[in-house]
Amino acid sequence: MLLILERCERGEWDLVVSEATFWEIAQMLDPARKEKVLALVTIASEEIKVTAQVIERAKELAQMNFKPYDALHITCAEVGGASIFLTTDDRLMRKAKRLRKLLRIRVENPVHWLMEVIADESENDDAKSTAGSGN
């Protein structure tokens, strides 16, 4: 996760959060944890607002048995045009994988996704090196 956040801080990737993220943070009881999470979301480049459109789509996801906050987070990512929704919640991940054809965004575990991205970058670097070597 830290590598992902570092690349967001450097502007290589955009971290998008939703208004629902801040609602969820506000409900945290542990002040130290709340402070850490707030510090992380400050690097976000965009905050998606919860609109009537978001609420309607979140209701659709809730009918598919997504938890209310999960439905809001996924919907905000969809509406905000994010390319990926990262989560460490295994239950959410399994449900999203099962229902992936009904979602408008790819849902992945951050570690698995990062490994995929690094492998793709490595392949691209290898291809550039081969192309640039005159072979």
- What tens digit of pLDDT does each residue of 9-47 get? 999 999 999 999 999 999 999 999 999 999 989 999 999
Neighbours of 68 (CB within 10 A): 12
Say yes or no to pLDDT of 130 above 80.
Answer: no
Confidence label for 1 from pLDDT (cuts 50, 70 and 90): confident
Confidence label for 111 from pLDDT (cuts 50, 70 and 90): very high
Range 2-123 has CATH code 3.40.50.1010: yes
Q: For residue 88, what are its two tokens?
A: 């460490």
Q: For residue 114, what are its two tokens?
A: 């990062």
| Spatial CA neighbour of 8 closest among 80, 105, 110 | 110
| Spatial CA neighbour of 78 closest among 99, 52, 48 | 48
| Overall average pLDDT of the 112-130 stretch | 82
